[in-house]
């Protein structure tokens, strides 16, 4: 008994998902890096550094997937960056950053059950794990 395939599991859907994830991960890495510049709290710094590294690692994983599929990566930084940086207070921005982590988790959980490419599955499962670890406890 297999899960109903997601629209993400079409050739077009998968390509769009990978490009969207790449843009989102670039935005997340930039938000975390720029947020570090205004952060003095050691616990927040540690969290932001962990998130930034996770986003950088995730960019590499998505780039691996795009290369595997023979797709040219976009050069975009997702709209998440502008939305997150518009939140001046770091205390308010960090929960917003976590909503970005949750978005990636949802997208990957929607896509992975129907993924039949072992390489893509492996890379995106690593990415899912990174985001689950970096997501704030509920």
Distance of CA 96 to the CA centre of its chain: 13
Give the Cα separation of 94 and 89 in Å (integer): 9
pLDDT, tens digit (0-9, with 9 covering 90-100), for 109-135: 999 999 999 999 999 999 999 999 999
Domains of the chain (ranges plus CATH)? 10-134 (1.20.1260.10)
Residue 125's CB is within 10 A of a number of other CB atoms, namely: 14
pLDDT at 138 over 70: no
Would you give the distance in Å from CA 119 to the centre of its chain? Answer: 18
* Phi and psi at residue 55, to the nearest 5°: -70, -40
The string of pLDDT tens digits covering residues 35-86 is: 999 999 999 999 999 999 999 999 999 999 999 999 999 999 999 999 999 9
Q: Quote the CA–CA distance of 112 and 89 in Å, as a whole number.
A: 35
Give the confidence band of 1 by pLDDT, cuts at 50, 70, 90.
Answer: very low
């Amino acid at each position: 008994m297999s899960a109903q395939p997601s629209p993400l599991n079409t050739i077009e859907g998968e390509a769009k998902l990978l490009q969207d994830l790449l843009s989102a991960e670039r935005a997340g890495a930039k938000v975390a890096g720029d947020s570090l510049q205004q952060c003095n709290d050691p616990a927040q710094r540690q969290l932001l550094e962990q998130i930034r590294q996770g986003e950088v690692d995730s960019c590499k994983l998505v780039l691996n997937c795009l290369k595997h599929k023979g797709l040219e990566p976009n050069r975009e930084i997702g709209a998440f960056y502008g939305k997150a940086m518009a939140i001046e207070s770091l205390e308010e921005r960090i929960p917003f950053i976590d909503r970005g982590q949750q978005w990636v988790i949802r997208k990957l959980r929607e896509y992975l059950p129907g993924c039949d490419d072992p390489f893509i599955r492996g890379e995106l499962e690593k990415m899912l794990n990174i985001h689950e670890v970096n997501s704030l406890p509920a």
